[in-house]
Amino acid sequence: MDVPQFSKYNNTSLKLLSLMMLTAMAQYSVADSNVLPEITINVEQSSMDEQIKKALTKVNGATNAIVAADIQDIPKRTNADLFKNQPGIYAASSGNEGVKLSIRGSGINRAPGAHASGLYVSLDDLPFTGPGGTPYELLEPLWVDHIEVLRGANGLTRGALSLGGLINYASPTGKNAAKLSVHHEMGSHGYQKSEISSGQQIGDLDYYLSLTQSDDDGFQDHSSSQSKGISANVGYQLNPNLDTRFYLRYRETEHQTPGRLTQQQIEQDPKQAVALNISLNNNRPQQGSIWLANKTNMTLDSGDRLQLGLAYHHYPMDLQEGLYSTDVDYDDISTLFNYQFDRMLWGHESQNTLGFRSTTHLPDGQVVERLRVAQGAYAAGTETRHYTYQGGDYVLHYANALALHPQFWLDSRVALAYTHRESEVTWPVQSHKENIREWNVLPSLGFRYQIQPETQLFANVSRSLEAPHPWALIWGSDQYFPDGSGAATGRQSAPIHLNSQTANTLELGGRGQHALGEWNIAYYYSQVKNELLAVEIQSEPKKIIAESNASDTIHQGLEVGLNSLLWQNDAYGQVQLKQAYTLNDFHYKNDAVFGKNELAGIPKHIYQAELKYEHPLGFYAAVNTLYAAKVATDYANSFYAKDWQIWGASFGYIQPQKQYMAWLDFRNMANKKYASTVTPGYNDAGKDPARLTPGEGRAVYAGLTYHFN
């Protein structure tokens, strides 16, 4: 039986952590075992978690509230760890930070490691996703206090336009942080991650500061990674009706790229890397991304609320992959304006939000491509071509919630969106400039009906929009430099036109409490036009990924969550079962080539469950499982990656006052060999394609957090 291997340092550290855990547990082995220690509950944090959940019940559609208690005692290797046991969210790791994240089939075409598509991401309510998608290097899991997810067009309430909806990552602040905290986690494959943080409130001022560092040898060969970063925010209450907060995020990351495998290779040896990736030393250094922002909240004398925000985002990349290197330098400026006011309309309570958000690529950003290895007469380092990406998103939105009855709310929303996408090749030969500018109106109408105090039904019809990324105009091009073009021969020579993707969606569902437990369910049906699908038509070393508009497609699905209290005893604790099921039915409507084939890339069925025992003194033990159905690897549906199921377990201790906690997390205990992600192809003709990333094998992780107040 294979056992996860640890370095000497990791083994020693794991023993130390285990000793700390046992020492913490032993504190409560008092002489008089019949006397329970006094327990102080962190009421402030519990209250905050409940407020977050309650706020999302006012959305007339499916949502996820991932609060601090959900993620306090889990490994935080990647962003995918934060979305465990969440219905409607597909989050799969490829072994590094380039997680494939999708809601309702959004970004189904993207490979892990690419800027994410189909989702609008905000940091502390401020715009983060840009015209080029969502970069991942600043989404450090340790910098998350809680996450709000508004699935589908429900994100329109906050100006999100995309099919997948909105994800808002909220940072810890000095109002809810310890004066000093230390956190360390470690585990298989040489994994180490550390954090030291400090936060407190001093009169009208509060601050939070976090320093993080990580190293990981990776499960696959040639998949090591490193990172280090800082996150900080400072808030000040100028008066009872006015507060402001400044934010900083800075992080450097680097990871090797082992390449994708076939199903057969995964079954033979999932740790292997593509030989060419090793020989070329494919890697992705991201030299330092920075995000600076301010958010100011004001309450007017009338009780109306005003929120203003401004953010600057700089994210350079040096992509050292394949035969070519790509030097990219992005700069974005984002603005935010929200005005909330409550009025009476025809004798009924009316809650209103008028907002505007924008994100603009700053001009003068240029991409420089070079040879990484000598080709013919051209030495490594020779420039092959220059091209540009430009773009912007500008969204004016309005939302109204009208109480036609104390238990029945009519929710209407509308957005006016102006999108700009632009690209051109500027060297060695100037191409035409593809300049796409569009106006779109996106309406939404729905209701919430509170049948009983603990049972709510909802429904909505809505329209969503996703403009193509500027870089897709180049990488999806079918125009190439001809022979005799020097080092640029065979590279894309000009951008192409792509239409914006739109969808009309019907959603029905509900949420509430029942004898079975806390439940939520949503069904949606989306008719998608001009879906932006990409296929890998040529692999490394001269990888070509073509993106184009598909014929009409259908996205429909069922999202179900159930959290059941199976047993409870005041003296001995409780047993809970948390379950999440997601049906992803994505297919062509009636394509001339593929008929009604499935869209490749995401499992049709995903089931997650966790059975957890918690003792009043803070001990807990849990067993969990994850099942994913087979996945088509191509749009011809000629080959499928196999379905799989993995099992895990966790054990830990959370001190009742939350001063410290320690945990062990066992993953894939049966050492199942499976494909974690699939990058779609056009037609594999029944062959086993090298477009799969292997899931992690058997592994164990340990963590310790200590708060000094």
DSSP letter string over 193-220? EEEEEEEEEETTEEEEEEEEEEEE--SS
Q: What is the reported pLDDT for 120?
A: 97
Phi, psi of 627 (to 5 degrees): -120, 140
Mean pLDDT, all residues of the chain: 91
Q: Domain 8-708 belongs to what topology?
A: Maltoporin; Chain A (2.40.170)
> Residue 12: enclosing H or E segment and its boundaries?
helix 8-26
Q: What is the reported pLDDT for 5?
A: 38
Alpha carbon distance 7, 4 (integer Å): 10
Q: Give 347's contacts (C-beta < 8 A, 6+ positions apart).
A: none
Q: Taking Cα atoms as reference points, which of 466, 470, 488 lies closest to residue 479? A: 488
Alpha carbon distance 130, 77 (integer Å): 25
* Residue 486: DSSP 8-state: G
DSSP letter string over 455-474? EEEEEEEEEEEEPPPHHHHH
Contact 606, 595 (CB under 8 A): no
Alpha carbon distance 647, 625 (integer Å): 4
Tokens 């002489």 appear where? Answer: 31
Q: Give 623's contacts (C-beta < 8 A, 6+ positions apart).
A: 610, 611, 647, 648, 649
Q: Give 464's contacts (C-beta < 8 A, 6+ positions apart).
A: 152, 153, 156, 161, 162, 163, 442, 502, 503, 505, 526
User: Residue 639 in 3-state DSSP?
Assistant: coil
Side-chain-side CA neighbours of residue 249 (13 Å): 26
pLDDT < 70: residue spans in the chain = 1-46, 535-545
Would you state the structure tokens that stand for residue 340, as one six-digit string?
A: 């909330």
Beta bridge partners of 506: 461, 525
| Alpha carbon distances (Å) from 549 to 182, 466, 479, 480 | 49, 12, 17, 20
**What pLDDT digit, counting tens, does each position of 295-345 carry?**
999 999 999 999 999 999 999 988 999 899 999 888 999 999 999 999 999
